[in-house]
Structure 1
Amino acid sequence: MRRIEKLKPDVSARIAAGEVIESPASIVKELIENSLDAGATTIKIALNQGGKSKIVVEDDGVGILFNDLPLAVERFATSKISDVDDLGHIGTFGFRGEALGSIAAVSRLEIRSMAREEAEGGLLICTGGKVELHRRINTFPGTRVQVEDLFFNFPARRKFLKSSQGETRRVSSVVRDYAVAFPDKVFTLMSEDRVIFSTEGNTEERTFLDILDKIWPSHCPIQQGKVDFVPVKITAFWQPLREGTRVNLTVFVNGRRVQDSVVRAAISSFGQAASGLWFVIVEVPPEDLDVNIHPAKAEVRFKNSGEIYKAASKLVEDMLMGSKQMFSIPLRPSSEGRPVLAQTEDDGEEPQKWERDLGENLGGNGPEEVHDTDHGETFLQFVDEDEQHVRFLGRLSSGYLLYEYSTNFVLLDPHASHERILFEFFLSRIRDGSRQNIYPELELPPSVSEVAREWVKILEEWGFSFKEREGVLYLSGVPAGISEKNLSPIGVLRLALDAAEKTAGEDLAEVFAEGLASEACKGAIKITKIIEEKEALALWNELFACKKPQACPHGRPTHVVVTAEDMERLFRRK
């Protein structure tokens, strides 16, 4: 076992250092990497108040020699490297000797450790970077690091920490990512003495998918792919979601959780076809990677970034070719009745508070704000008359749909129209609070359950229901009609939670308006979609069955009318 040594001045001068501790999550990241470097097979993390009051990380690694404990909290003291040449082929996570020293400087730190070759362990206590106690104790092999009162001596930094629930979620995200990247390790995360995430630890191929199944939305298939461009190896897991979602990417390079622009660029080059959740593991020779370019080691530089891009692009292409995932939102059955031409005017009905709030939050003046067109305010409105007739003429190359209605032509935007249909569908379901039970009940991933507990009263008003058994939260009901729209129950719950967090408990209408409009956009028919006559007529009937068919939720017109009078004028017959 190598001893911890104080770095030579010429080595430390070459290491760009900065404070690496920003939050409990960054502390947990550094301590997990220390445990992995120590060869730990089991890593336990416990939090109080999201880590703001206490963080404990315990492992069964090789431990720290008693005489080396004081050095462990000094900057630029490390067992990982000892020479300038070592910086060129770093194979460990830590190498600067900064983590424990930085943590000690901003907290009350206690380290209990026992090296396997020693009969007794050691205890080290620091406050604000000052060693207060160092003595021998009886303890178990491995290391236990306890961090209390984070930023107690830096109140300006402490005030920028999130709520306890928010910090717990950030830590949970870090732990889950490392659990996926290191499936052979046993990870346990506890919050307030309650287990919120754990893995069993094995090397079977299925382990990656088992862990991702716990943390990604349910009922969405996860694709797996590999590519081997010697010496580059890339493994990827992809959960394709519906059109309109962005690329949500987690990248590990040689075991490091990093933000990487090369892999992101490769995935993004495939556009919406590659949207969804990605977890990518890249392996390259240590000498082909520069890990010393970011103070928190959150970024890396590839020696041959072109090869990485090429390999990642090939992998994504192969996975897209093998994916059978289809995205479609079925229309409801056509409504009875026919629309008639009319000048839009206020029907004199006072909009309900909910509708006023929605209109204001979507950028309009009240429930709707219809953009002007070259034809003034002429739109089609729904009435129950059967003598009128509509005929679908076809789809223009621009994607707009052309109809003949009475003596008029109507150009319809399929995307904006479907947005309006979905928007009113969701709105009616959530307004009436109707609920649809789920069988079997869905166990919520830790990242979702922690937030759901915080907003449970709000969610229940919208039609969600929950059950808790043995500390695990289950989703037992969702707003009625969700299944009709081919939506993942947990995906919709995530959307509602995201909206709730952004508004920090503002008016309920404001909370869900953003999520409702966003979901309508994602699920709407794209203007590039080829639409057959039957579907085009169903879309027409669905649109004009809406209360406000004139515009999409964002205020864009759904259709434009060319009247017989307009045509007379265009051909100068009038």
Structure 2
Amino acid sequence: MPEIRVLPPNIVEKIAAGEVVERPASVVKELVENSIDAGATKIAIHVEGGGTKRIRVVDDGCGMSEEDAILALKRHATSKIKSEEDLNRISTLGFRGEALPSIAAVSKLTIITKRKEDLVGTKIHVEGGEIKNITSIGAPSGTSVLVEDLFYNTPARRKFLKSERSEFFQIYSIVEKYAIIYENIHFKLVHNGKEVFNLPPSNLKARIARLWGKEIADAMVEIKKSNRMKIKGLIAKPYQVRRDKNKLLIFVNGRYVKSRIIEDALVEGYGTLLFRDSYPIAILKIQVEPDEIDVNVHPAKLFVKFKDENRIKKEIANLIWNSLTKEENIPSKIGGREERAEKIKIEREKQMVFDVEEPSKMRKIEDFIPVMRTLPMEILGQVDGTYIILKSPEGLVIVDQHAAHERIRYERFLKDMKDRNIQKLLEPIILNLDYKEYQFILEQKGSLRDYGFIIEDFGTNSIVVRGIPPILTKRDAEDAIREIAQLGPKSIDEKRDELIKLISCKGAIKAHQKLSQFEMEKLIMDLLRCKNPYTCPHGRSTMIKIKNEDLEKMFKRKE
């Protein structure tokens, strides 16, 4: 490792604003990056109290001499750049020399470090930025940094921290990202003495399976491109999407970044394969020449600026489109979404056949649609497997089968919730989630019972589902729980209407789904029994009418 030196003023002035330790996750980020830059093959992160009580990061990297360890506590002391020209060739995660002094200024910090060639290591204790003690100590090669009582001397900053759970989730997100990009490094994360994950070196797909679950990993397509800009990573097949960008990760030269240019390129690359208002699950690792980007545009090094943004956007979009449109990388008619839709349809048919519940008093169609007066109506058939055409004395009625079934299921689900109906499962569902989703579902399992879900902890980021809403199949229930886990930090109760719509619309008859005469008749009758048969839960019309006189005008039989 090169010698650590204090940067001259002319370089310091050109470096972005000073590092601010905003929260415990900021500390973990800087310490983990230092460990990676030190060539560590093992990094262990131990956290207590969400990081405010204690953070310890231990690595087996190159370590520091006593002189370098003392110098590292001075602001703008770094081994990573020497001259102004080096700012254009930054290839390390850290480079400003601000992290350790910034952390030491607002905590009680202890460094234990040793180089492989040294017989003994060095221990330095710092409080509030002031070195209190320096001693020699027996230690393994590498560096251990202990941060205690974060913000003990800045109570105003500590006051604005969130709950222990929230602060730890921020830490988890940081460590998870570096565990994904550096799959060759052994990462271990422990919170309050409990191991959260322990990830030995592996390939990227195996690591994703450990962190995000096997289902997501199996749906990922490998991408790779080598030329002036090297790109590699994994992108999910179009049917594996999310409502947020939480699993859209971009790494440039080993650094996690946010880039609107690359996000747009990803979405553009999926083109019409991507569902509306959804985002792909993707991990992109981009390697460019250091002088092609500027990483010094943001204090937290979260954003980068590319020299040729248009070229990069075009290359990424083309790579993704070409990868997804290869025959082996997209769901086929036999093995993909269509097969799954067929399975759902079969389950639905069974439900329809055995669903014999009828109201005590059958109402007439005129009671529901007094203006249309469409009795008697004759079903003529389907158009494009999506619209049901009915004939009445007044003309034609066209029903959107998907919107109609959503309305039926929505009102049925409201009734099930009111009656507290739950479908107990003889064979429970076992779901493996990522850590944040797992914690969220467990925290909300009491509220989820009101919606018909009986959920228990199954350990190691897994839950067992023993009861589901009666309107759902097991597969639909599994999909619903995964989507509920993505709803965000707000509680289930705060998103009641959104959640009811999400659950009730799962398993609804799809567009382009062929129905039998019996299924069409039952769908129309069920729709007309609804309190509001005119719109789906999202506000779209379930039916429209074309009067005979309108048809005559269209064909110019009448003016």
Q: TM-score range by the shorter chain?
A: 0.7 to 0.9
Change (3 A) 1:567 1:222: closer
Tell me, in whole angstroms, the C-alpha distance in 2 between the residues paired with 1:482 and 1:62: 59
Query: Displacement of 1:119 after TM fit?
Result: 1.7
Partner residue, 1:304: 308
Tell me, in whole angstroms, the C-alpha distance in 2 between the residues paired with 1:494 and 1:395: 31
Bigger relative contact order, structure 1 or 2 (CA pairs below 8 A, ≥6 apart): 1
Change (3 A) 1:252 1:563: same
1:352-391 paired onto structure 2 within 5 Å:
378=371, 389-391=378-380
Query: Displacement of 1:212 after TM fit?
Result: 1.1
Query: Displacement of 1:63 after TM fit?
Result: 0.9
Query: Displacement of 1:9 after TM fit?
Result: 0.8
Query: Displacement of 1:14 after TM fit?
Result: 0.9
Partner residue, 1:138: 138
Equivalent position SS for 1:293: coil
Change (3 A) 1:468 1:412: closer
The answer to whether structure 1 residue 550 and structure 2 residue 550 are counterparts is: no
Q: Deviations over 1:211-246 (max 9, x none)?
A: 212332553432222232412121232234467845
Partner residue, 1:210: 206
1:493-512 paired onto structure 2 within 5 Å:
493-497=481-485, 499=487, 501-503=489-491, 508=493, 510-512=494-496
Cα contact 1:395–1:401 (8 A) shared by 2 = no
Give the stretch that moved more between structures: 538-547 or 282-291. 538-547
The answer to whether structure 1 residue 458 and structure 2 residue 447 are counterparts is: yes
1:176-325 paired onto structure 2 within 5 Å:
176-202=176-202, 207-216=203-212, 218-220=214-216, 221-240=218-237, 241=239, 245=243, 248-269=247-268, 270-271=270-271, 273-274=273-274, 275-321=279-325, 322-324=329-331, 325=336
Partner residue, 2:366: 342
Partner residue, 1:516: 500
Tell me, in whole angstroms, the C-alpha distance in 1 between the residues paired with 2:231 and 2:520: 44
The one of 395, 413, 425 equivalent to 1:436 is 425
Tell me, in whole angstroms, the C-alpha distance in 2 between the residues paired with 1:132 and 1:15: 29
Partner residue, 2:438: 449
Change (3 A) 1:440 1:455: closer
Tell me, in whole angstroms, the C-alpha distance in 2 between the residues paired with 1:453 and 1:184: 32
Query: Displacement of 1:439 after TM fit?
Result: 5.5
Query: Displacement of 1:66 after TM fit?
Result: 1.0
Cα contact 2:401–2:509 (8 A) shared by 1 = yes
Query: Displacement of 1:37 after TM fit?
Result: 0.4
Give the stretch that moved more between structures: 451-460 or 89-98. 451-460
Equivalent position SS for 1:80: coil
Equivalent position SS for 1:492: helix
Tell me, in whole angstroms, the C-alpha distance in 1 between the residues paired with 2:372 and 2:126: 73
Tell me, in whole angstroms, the C-alpha distance in 2 between the residues paired with 1:245 and 1:379: 39
Tell me, in whole angstroms, the C-alpha distance in 2 between the residues paired with 1:512 and 1:149: 39
Equivalent position SS for 2:45: strand
Cα contact 2:58–2:145 (8 A) shared by 1 = yes
Query: Displacement of 1:29 after TM fit?
Result: 1.6
Tell me, in whole angstroms, the C-alpha distance in 2 between the residues paired with 1:377 and 1:485: 39
Q: Deviations over 1:520-544 (max 9, x none)?
A: 5687677xx5455648667545534
Q: Deviations over 1:225-268 (max 9, x none)?
A: 22324121212322344678455411111110110122211122
Give the stretch that moved more between structures: 240-249 or 145-154. 240-249
Query: Displacement of 1:436 after TM fit?
Result: 2.9
Tell me, in whole angstroms, the C-alpha distance in 1 between the residues paired with 2:53 and 2:66: 27
Tell me, in whole angstroms, the C-alpha distance in 2 between the residues paired with 1:454 and 1:425: 27
Partner residue, 1:487: 476
Partner residue, 2:46: 46
Letter of the 1:394 counterpart:
V
Cα contact 1:47–1:190 (8 A) shared by 2 = yes
Tell me, in whole angstroms, the C-alpha distance in 1 between the residues paired with 2:303 and 2:421: 48
Partner residue, 2:381: 392
Partner residue, 1:326: 337
Q: Deviations over 1:319-353 (max 9, x none)?
A: 32121142765453357799843355xxxxxxxxx
Give the stretch that moved more between structures: 293-302 or 135-144. 135-144
Equivalent position SS for 1:342: helix
Query: Displacement of 1:93 after TM fit?
Result: 0.7
Tell me, in whole angstroms, the C-alpha distance in 2 between the residues paired with 1:285 and 1:43: 27
Cα contact 2:80–2:95 (8 A) shared by 1 = yes
Q: Deviations over 1:184-211 (max 9, x none)?
A: 1100111111111121114xxxx21122
Query: Displacement of 1:69 after TM fit?
Result: 2.0
Give the stretch that moved more between structures: 268-277 or 85-94. 268-277
Tell me how many residue pairs correspond in the alignment: 525
Tell me, in whole angstroms, the C-alpha distance in 2 between the residues paired with 1:147 and 1:232: 39
Cα contact 2:240–2:281 (8 A) shared by 1 = no
Cα contact 1:380–1:550 (8 A) shared by 2 = no
1:525-544 paired onto structure 2 within 5 Å:
529-530=511-512, 532=514, 534=516, 540=524, 543-544=527-528
Q: Deviations over 1:484-504 (max 9, x none)?
A: 374372x5334434558414x
Query: Displacement of 1:35 after TM fit?
Result: 0.5
Partner residue, 1:112: 112
Tell me, in whole angstroms, the C-alpha distance in 2 between the residues paired with 1:542 and 1:102: 66
Tell me, in whole angstroms, the C-alpha distance in 1 between the residues paired with 2:309 and 2:533: 50
Change (3 A) 1:408 1:12: same
Letter of the 1:484 counterpart:
T
Equivalent position SS for 1:22: coil
Cα contact 1:112–1:139 (8 A) shared by 2 = yes
In structure 2, runs of 5+ residues without a counterpart are none
Change (3 A) 1:75 1:478: farther
Tell me, in whole angstroms, the C-alpha distance in 1 between the residues paired with 2:392 and 2:474: 29
Change (3 A) 1:494 1:26: farther
Partner residue, 1:474: 463
Tell me, in whole angstroms, the C-alpha distance in 2 between the residues paired with 1:400 and 1:487: 23
Change (3 A) 1:146 1:540: farther
Cα contact 2:404–2:542 (8 A) shared by 1 = yes
Query: Displacement of 1:157 after TM fit?
Result: 2.7
Q: TM-score, normalised by structure 1?
A: 0.80
Change (3 A) 1:71 1:417: farther
Cα contact 1:110–1:145 (8 A) shared by 2 = yes
Q: Deviations over 1:240-298 (max 9, x none)?
A: 44678455411111110110122211122234624431111111122222211111000
Give the stretch that moved more between structures: 473-482 or 138-147. 473-482
Partner residue, 1:354: none
Aligned residues: CA RMSD: 3.6
Letter of the 1:92 counterpart:
T
Give the stretch that moved more between structures: 432-441 or 124-133. 432-441
Letter of the 2:219 counterpart:
I
Cα contact 2:212–2:433 (8 A) shared by 1 = no
Give the stretch that moved more between structures: 434-443 or 248-257. 434-443
Equivalent position SS for 2:249: strand
Change (3 A) 1:273 1:472: closer
Cα contact 1:18–1:296 (8 A) shared by 2 = no
Query: Displacement of 1:302 after TM fit?
Result: 2.0
Give the stretch that moved more between structures: 234-243 or 35-44. 234-243
